[in-house]
Chain A
């Protein structure tokens, strides 16, 4: 009899104590900073700047260091890269007439940026490419025919050097450990 009364009173005490303790926990949550990221207009820094270096966003081509080797066109599994490159017989230089990447077809696999010898085709952290028309999904990187880049043993053109450095750093990311050892040693 007394045991039942004890249990009854203990039930009441447990209920009151646990409810109030729970309310203390939620009150402590009430004053904490919310963890919501209010994309896209109320973020502290641009979301693109928070992405890691190897993030495979929309493709970009640096035509200044493109050698016209067509390795990316051959590597693409979906044929979304279309390049018109012909060796001009008079100047003995490769001329790039067309370099189109269809970002709607692109599956962002990275297979094109891996074989590029200079790292001119690379992924950017950009991911906001949605638009209302299918035609705007084709990125055309060549306005008028340009000459392709002829790689030299030591690059001396000050305009090209930073672009080449970025490109080489990019393809270094894809190197296997043996290749890295070979490059270092």
Chain B
């Protein structure tokens, strides 16, 4: 799509005689810069603010609300503050690796945004191995974390880095297995292909396709949470244990990179889950809006964004709820529980697709009903706790 756009500009004579490849290169760099600076960094920054507000309300406090209207410029203030700090490199640290680590981590994180489908046409590159590319690029983050831990010349940072490596490597396997459980159904690794095979209603989503993918959703969710170093699996950064884990020696702009990558990764995790299990950008065919391509694109983008941001808020919610696992509990959970369950799901889905290649409608509807029933039961538990405490309710997020 970008190529077509640039071709028309070349034909118009805008780029007066520059070789074609140079024009493409400039176009790609401009598009990449637009995506990174216009979207990725802002989403990562606003996510830090949203997390602090969500976390605070769960803990009966208010969160930052002074810096702009409702505190919405807090992330900008934090970013500017970090940029103005002194960048101290420890004397005995490996300076070259120390400086390299934030770049590796950021590259791994930003590169994943290339293949995320925001709507049916808004995707930077619809790679035919999209989901494999995303899981590989998010694994590049662990290389950066290990380099950071080693180059800090600090035993606690090193422990943090090693724990991160062990954790991410061991959770990579159930995550990849569960992702390929969905690929068994779709037959394609391409992100747009996966979404196009789902529909707009929950009964068409892959989460309710068969009971094995239903369980697979939760396994994928847990494993991706561990990959993103989020509580309850945040031992590598372990705020209360290892000072700050592998980022102990980092300050200023370098710390800002690690910080942004962690919060931006939440969005990538959520986007993967929404694409694979929750129907991506599929919207119902509303006559007025979906006829016009621009309107349809906007609606699809909003659907995808709202779904993945809801996933981000669920991840923050879990962080506010659960305590941290020990290292051995972490390993136990991955190798003894998630991995066997992921294998069972894989084999189960393979058999299911063999028996019912086009999906078993009754099972889909039954699972949708069960899922809906679980949501209703959950809400009833929330109401039960509210009634039991007799507390006053404020539904408005403003303060």
Using a CB–CB distance below 8 Å, which chain A residues touch chain B? 11-12, 16, 19-36, 38
Contacts and interface: CB of A to CB of B under 8 A. Distances in A.
Interface in B53-72: 54, 56-62
Given A27-B382, A31-B393, A11 B337 contact: yes
A26 to B, nearest CB: 5
Given A20-B378, A24-B378, A24-B381, A31 B321 contact: no
B385 interface: yes
A21 B382 CA distance: 9
B322 A29 contact: no
Contacts of A21: 381
B378 A34 contact: no
Nearest to A32: B391
- A22, A30, A33, A34 — which one has the most chain B CB atoms within 10 A of its CB? A30
B316 to A, nearest CB: 10
Nearest to A35: B60
Looking at chain B's contact residues, the main secondary structure is helix
A16 B214 CA distance: 13
10 A-B pairs closest in CB distance: A28-B385, A24-B381, A33-B394, A33-B392, A26-B321, A32-B391, A36-B62, A28-B386, A28-B382, A22-B321
A23 B318 contact: yes
A34 B318 contact: no
Given A29-B59, A33-B392, A12 B317 contact: no
B320 A26 contact: yes
B385 A34 contact: no
B65 to A, nearest CB: 8
A21 B383 CA distance: 12
B394 A36 contact: no
A32 B60 contact: yes
B392 A24 contact: no
Contacts of B54: 30
Nearest to A31: B393
A25 B385 contact: yes
Contacts of A24: 378, 381-382, 384-385
Contacts of A31: 386, 393-395
B321 A23 contact: yes
A29 B317 contact: no
Contacts of A33: 391-394
Nearest to B232: A19
B389 interface: yes
B399 interface: yes
B174 to A, nearest CB: 14
Interface of B: 54, 56-62, 218, 317-318, 320-322, 337, 341, 378, 381-386, 389, 391-395, 399
A19 B15 CA distance: 59
Contacts of A32: 60, 386, 389, 391-394
B393 A27 contact: no
Contacts of A19: 318, 321-322
Given A20-B378, A24-B378, A27-B382, A36 B321 contact: no
Contacts of B386: 28, 31-32
A31 B384 CA distance: 13
A34 B394 contact: yes
B391 A27 contact: no
Given A16-B218, A24-B381, A34-B56, 18 more contacts: A11-B337, A12-B337, A19-B318, A19-B322, A20-B378, A23-B321, A24-B378, A26-B320, A26-B321, A28-B382, A28-B386, A29-B57, A31-B393, A33-B393, A33-B394, A34-B60, A34-B61, A38-B399
Contacts of A29: 57-60
Nearest to B393: A31
B57 A34 contact: yes
Contact of B317 (A11, A23, A36): A23
Contacts of B58: 26, 29-30
Given A21-B381, A34-B61, A38-B62, A27 B317 contact: yes
A36 B180 CA distance: 47
Contacts of A28: 382-383, 385-386, 389
Contacts of B399: 34, 38
A126 to B, nearest CB: 25
A24 B380 CA distance: 9
B391 A26 contact: no
B263 to A, nearest CB: 20
Contacts of A25: 321, 385
A11 B341 CA distance: 13
12 contacts: A12-B341, A20-B378, A23-B317, A28-B385, A29-B57, A30-B58, A32-B393, A33-B391, A33-B392, A34-B399, A35-B61, A38-B399
Nearest to B65: A38
A22 B394 contact: no
